[in-house]
Amino acid sequence: MRPVRAVRDGVVIARRNLIGLRRTPGALVTGIAQPILFVIILAYVFGGTLGGGAYREYLVGGILAQTLTFNSSFTAVYLAKDLQSGLIDRFRALPMSRVGVILGRTVSDLVMSAISVLVILGCGLAIGWRASTGPGSVLLACALLLLFAFAVSWVGALIALTARSVEVAQSLGLLWLFPVCFISGAFVSADSLPTGLQAIARWNPITAVASAARQGFGNEVPPGFMSPGGWPGENPVLYSVLSCVVIIAVFAPAAVLQYRRISRR
Amino acid sequence: MIALHGIVKQFGDRTALDGIDLEVPSGTVQGLLGPNGAGKTTIVRVLTTLLTPDRGDALVAGHSVRSDPDGVRRSLGVSGQYAAVDEKLTGYENLRMVAQLYGMRRRAAAERARQLLRDFRLDDVADTLLAGQYSGGMRRRLDLAGAVIARPPVVILDEPTTGLDPRGRRDTWDAVTSLTDEGVTVLLTTQYLEEADQLADSIAVIDRGRIVADGTAAALKQRVGGSRVDIVLADADDGAAARSALQRDGHDTEAGDRGRRLTLAADEGGPGLSRALAVLERAGIDVAEAALRRPTLDEVFLGLTAGSSLEPSAETDSAGAGRPGAEETDEALPAEAAR
C-alpha cells in the first residue's frame, strides 16, 4: 500500500529530522528569536503610528501568518542540506516511498511552526494581546494556522528540490516571502493599498489566514482600519482552508515530481 | 545476479557510458577499475536507479532498473565514496533509520542495527558519538553496515576506500571479504589496482565509457605480456647511461625513482634478466638489485587504457601499485555535476 508506506516512511524521516533539530539548538533560536523581534519591531516601532494598543492586538494574527510563511524557508534549507550531503541519494536508492522523504520534512517542520505559534502568542500576551473567545475557538484558529504552515512548507520543499544547493535554496526560499507577506493584510489594512496591489492583497491567502486567526481570537480591527473587502475578506476561514488545499494540491505533487527527477552529481 | 546490457548514457554531448555489457555471477566480486571520469560512478548510479540509461537495461537480482526500480532497490545495498550517513544521528540511530526505510518493523530494525554495530566494531561508540564525529574509516564502516542491513543479495561499493588511511582501508577490505563469505554478490568500483587485485574475482577495466578488458587479475596480466625485469641501480646518475645501453640492446625501459629504478619487458623470462645484467655490466654500471616478476596491474591498466587523457598517474613508477590517497578523490564529472 503506497499511502501507508508514505506515512510510515514519513514518520521515520520526521523522527530523524526532530532528533537532528534537537541537536542543533541554533536552528531553534532562529525560529524563536525571529518572531519575537518582529513582534517588538512592529508593535513598538510601527505600532505607535498605526494605532497603539488596538494595533498591537491586530498585529498578532498578522505576525502568526507571516512567521509561519517564513518557516517554509526551514523546509527549503534543511531539504537542500540533505540533498547536498548526498543523504537524499542514499534515500533514493532505498526501497522507500518517494513522498516519504518530503512528507517527513514538512511534518517535522510543523513542530517548528507549533513552537513559533506558542512563542508569538506568549509575546502577544506580553504586549497586551488577549483572546476574547473561548479556548475551543483559539485552538481551531491554531489548527488552521498549522494547516497553513504545512501547506507553505511544500512550497519550501519545491524550492529546495529545484535549487539543490543550500545557498540558492536559502536565498530563493526567502526572496518570495517578502512580497508575499507584505502585499497582504497581515500588518496593514489590505484595502489601504493602491488599487492594483489591493486586489492581490485581498486574494492573498496570508490576508485570509491573518483575518481568520483574528476572528478565532476575537480581535477587533483597530479604528480607522478598513476590513478587507471581497469574498475572501468576508469568508476568511473558508478561503484560508481552500487556499491551503490548493497550495498542497499544487506544490506537493510538483515537489514529488521534482524529487523523482533530480539527480545529483 | 547483476547484468548490464548495452548501457548508453549521455550528458549533453559527452558520452559517459558507451555501450556497457557486463555480467556478474551470483556470489562473486566484480571489480570495476578505471581512472577518474571513466564512467564508474555513472554505472553505479544506473544500477542504484538514480539515473536512467538512455539505451540498454540493467538487471539486479532479476529486477530491471527500467521497469522495476523498486525491486532493484529492495535487492540492493549501496555504500558510496561519500559515506552518506546522517551526521546528526548516532551510529545506532543511523542504522535503525535505514533498516526501517527498508521496511523493517521498529523492534526488528533496532535489533538488526545493534547486531551490525557489533559486527562492524562500532558498538562502543554506537550511542555516544554522532556520526559526524566519526573518523573517516568509522563513517565508511557505518555506511557499509547500512548497505547490508537488510541482507540484500547484491551490494554495490563505490570507491569504498578512496580517501581512507591505510588502517581504514584495511578495515574496509576485511568487511568486504566477510561479505563475500556470506555469498553476497558485490560490484566494487575502484581506481586502485591493488584493491581490485585483492578483493575482486573478476576485474573489468573501464575507460572513457567502455569496458576495455574483463577477466581475472591473472588473465589481465597475461594480456599485457610476459615477465618484467626490475633493476635498481647503485647510483641514480647512471640512469641515463643504463637506459641508452639497454636501448642499444633493443630494450625499451621505463624509469622510476628519479632514474634509479628501471623496468623493462623480458618476454623470455630468466635469460632476459641475465642478458640485461650483462649489458649493464659491460657498460660498467653497478646494479644494486635486480628481479624478475609478473607485470603489476598498474602496467596492465596503463597498457589497456593507453592514450587516455585521464591517466591516473603521470609518474610511471610502475612498481608502486595503487597507493590510495596518491590521487585526487574522484570528484564529480563536470557534466554530471551540473545535473
* Yes or no, beta carbons of B89 and A16 under 8 Å apart: yes
Nearest CB partner across the interface for B73, out of A15, A93, A100: A93
Mean pLDDT is lowest, of B197-206, B269-278, B294-303, for B294-303
Nearest CB partner across the interface for A265, out of B87, B97, B336: B336
Compare all CA atoms of chain A with the CA of B68 and give the residue at the minimum distance.
Answer: A95
Comparing CA positions, the residue from B169, B170, B206 lying closest to residue B40 is B206
Who wins on pLDDT, B330 or B230? B230
* Yes or no, beta carbons of B86 and A9 under 8 Å apart: no
* Yes or no, beta carbons of A265 and B337 under 8 Å apart: yes
Q: Tell me the nearest-neighbour CA distance from B335 into chain A, angstroms.
A: 9
C-alpha cell at B151: 541482507
Q: CB of A18 within 8 Å of any CB in chain B? A: no
The amino acid occupying position A34 is: Q
pLDDT per residue as tens digits for the range B90-147: 999 999 999 999 999 999 999 999 999 998 889 999 999 999 999 888 888 899 999 9
Locus of grid cell 539486479: B60
* Spatial separation of the C-alpha atoms in residues A98 and A262, rounded to whole Å: 12
* Phi, psi for residue A81 in degrees, rounded to 5: -60, -45
**Beta carbons within 8 Å of B13's beta carbon, 6+ residues apart:** none
Q: Tell me the nearest-neighbour CA distance from B191 into chain A, angstroms.
A: 18
Share above pLDDT 70 across residues of chain A, in percent, rounded to a whole number: 98
Mean model confidence pLDDT for chain A: 90
Chain A from 77 to 136: CB within 8 A of any B CB: 85-87, 89-96, 100
* Yes or no, beta carbons of B101 and A86 under 8 Å apart: no
Name every chain A residue with its beta carbon within 8 A of the beta carbon of B93: 16, 19
Locus of grid cell 548510479: B45
pLDDT, position B306: 66
* Yes or no, beta carbons of A20 and B88 under 8 Å apart: yes
**Contact status, residue A77 vs residue A170, Cβ threshold 8 Å:** yes
pLDDT, position B225: 66
Compare all CA atoms of chain B with the CA of A94 and give the residue at the minimum distance.
Answer: B73
Q: Tell me the nearest-neighbour CA distance from B74 into chain A, angstroms.
A: 5
Q: How confident is the model at residue A152 (pLDDT cuts 50, 70, 90)?
A: very high
**Cα R_g (chain A), whole angstroms:** 19
Question: Could you tell me the sign of the dihedral formed by the alpha carbons of A155, A160, A162, A168, in that order?
Answer: positive
Chain A interface, best mutation among B95, B98, B100, B162, by max A CB count within 10 A: B100
Who wins on pLDDT, B220 or B288? B288
Name every chain A residue with its beta carbon within 8 A of the beta carbon of B130: 23
pLDDT, position B180: 82
Indicate if the pLDDT at residue A151 is higher than 80: yes
Indicate if the pLDDT at residue B273 is higher than 90: no
Q: Tell me the nearest-neighbour CA distance from A110 into chain B, angstroms.
A: 19
DSSP state of B90: B
Query: What CA–CA distances, in Å, run from A127 to A32, A133, A142, A210, B194?
Result: 17, 18, 19, 18, 71
Name every chain A residue with its beta carbon within 8 A of the beta carbon of B336: 265
* Spatial separation of the C-alpha atoms in residues B222 and B69, rounded to whole Å: 39
Locus of grid cell 526572496: A175
Name every chain B residue with its beta carbon within 8 A of the beta carbon of A20: 86, 88-89
Locus of grid cell 491586530: A58
* Spatial separation of the C-alpha atoms in residues A245 and A50, rounded to whole Å: 33
Q: Tell me the nearest-neighbour CA distance from B193 into chain A, angstroms.
A: 24
Nearest CB partner across the interface for B82, out of A16, A86, A94: A86
* Yes or no, beta carbons of A90 and B78 under 8 Å apart: yes
ipTM of predicted assembly, 2 dp: 0.86
Name every chain B residue with its beta carbon within 8 A of the beta carbon of A100: 101
Name every chain B residue with its beta carbon within 8 A of the beta carbon of A86: 80, 82, 84
Comparing CA positions, the residue from B193, B316, B206 lying closest to residue B254 is B316
